[in-house]
Amino acid sequence: MRPLPCLALAACALSSPAFAQSGPATAPMPSPEEVANKDTVTVGLGGAFVPDYEGSNDYRLLPVGAVRGKVSGISFMSRGPYLYVDLVPSHGKASFNAGPIVGARLNSRRNIKDAVVKLLPPRKRAIEVGAFAGVGYSGLTNPYDSLDFRLDVLHDISGAHKSTVISPNIDFSTPLSTRTYASLSLGAEFVSNKFADYYYTITPADSLATGGQLPAFNADGGMKNWKAGLLLNQSITGNLLHGFSIFGYGEYSRLVGDFRRSPMVAQRGSASQWTGAMGLAYTW
């Protein structure tokens, strides 16, 4: 699964041009171009409320962190346990974004509460590498908003699910005031039969290990889920381009197809998945 997306998305917003103020309320707003060219680093720490596994109806609280920054036109950001590096400097109201991704898929079925699902064999944490590409548009409703379309492609190199995951995403971000920021995200994941077998198929041996409580099931690939998230970010020190801020994030995800029908979801969990986080960040 993709746990901890909350802090990653929060960090993506913390140094956004939406926070284009440089002091008291009476100070002039810097231009979007000035903010976009500013070198900055943001670090966030907090707690996240996440499912035990993707498809579980049990949740746990975890400490999490994230980072985002831009130095000399090269941007980097974490989204959950993945690090993105944008190698294409942005100019003007329309921009192209592309670069590498590296990270880990943490859906290992370890440390879970469900006594039946816990009888299934654990899964390796997949190390995934790949790339993303997308386009962004700014100034649609105000000088500091942004609408971004992005496609992520990741492949497991650790011998876990041994397959490729494709994720289209849309993000719209805008300031609500000079101290408050909001970001709405929509996305989905498409996976192969290998991925579905590794995480959601119940083999006859698996069924036997659970004493027949989970019947055998052969999962096929395709669209795995869709998701929608909302981030709210509030300055503490009055300037989200420098100093402390607090954030809250909530995401709803819905498993579909065979991922919803797998007995570990349909009988022991839920196709509806919720993620939430709150935390503190500092921007230099």
CATH number at residue 133: 2.40.160.40
First-to-last CA distance in the chain?
32
Res 65: pLDDT: 85
pTM of this structure: 0.85
Judge contact between 81 and 103, C-beta under 8 A: yes
Q: How many distinct structural domains can be found in the chain?
A: 1
So what's the pLDDT on residue 7?
Answer: 40
* pLDDT value of residue 179: 82
C-alpha dihedral (88, 92, 96, 97), degrees to nearest 10:
50
pLDDT averaged over 10-residue windows placed end to end, the chain, 284 residues: 38 39 47 70 91 95 87 87 90 89 91 94 95 94 91 97 98 87 95 98 97 97 97 83 87 97 98 95 87
Distance in angstroms (rounded) separating the CA atoms of residues 276 and 253: 11
In this prediction, residue 30 carries a pLDDT of 62
Q: Give the pLDDT of residue 256.
A: 98
> Residue 283 and residue 11: Cα distance in Å, rounded?
10
Residues pairing with 149 in the sheet: 135, 170
What pLDDT sits at residue 28? Answer: 55
Q: What are phi and psi of 175, to 5 degrees?
A: -75, 140
Could you give the 3-state DSSP secondary structure of residue 118?
A: helix
Task: Supply the range of the domain harboring residue 170.
Answer: 5-283
